[in-house]
Amino acid sequence: SQQGEEDPQALSIQEGENATMNCSYKTSINNLQWYRQNSGRGLVHLILIRSNEREKHSGRLRVTLDTSKKSSSLLITASRAADTASYFCATRGSNYKLTFGKGTLLTVNP
């Protein structure tokens, strides 16, 4: 079963704009991770935020986590055409299993 729900399901923006994706989940977590996937294959790990962290940055990525609302957001600044992909949030509970959402399809138009 899917734990996370990404919002929106699809997002289309122009190059240079910022993209924000949201994720909500249901149960308590150890950490939350964001992944990118191109062409239905090849999941690439982007960033991990632990349950005791509220914000994390990596390059053009900014992730926030609100455990009281069981939600996270991923911000991609100054988007590029190469950022076009599906983005998934995945939560990890007390075991090693990752539970993924359905993903947000981001299209960055040149």
Residues at the contact surface with other proteins, assessed by CB under 8 A:
1-2, 4, 31, 33, 35, 40-45, 48, 88, 90, 92, 95-103
Q: Which is nearer to other proteins, 33 or 72 (CB)?
A: 33
Q: C-beta of 108: minimal distance to other proteins in Å?
A: 20
> From the CB of 91, what's the least distance to other proteins, in Å?
11
Q: Which is nearer to other proteins, 33 or 71 (CB)?
A: 33
CA geometry: angle 71, 80, 17, nearest 5 deg: 65
Beta bridge partners of 10: 105
d(CA 49, CA 56): 7
The counts of H helices and E strands in the chain are 0, 11
What does the block give as tokens for 42? 């090849």
DSSP state, residue 78: S
For other proteins, the closer of residues 2 and 14 by Cβ is 2
Q: How far is the CB of 17 from other proteins (least distance, A)?
A: 25
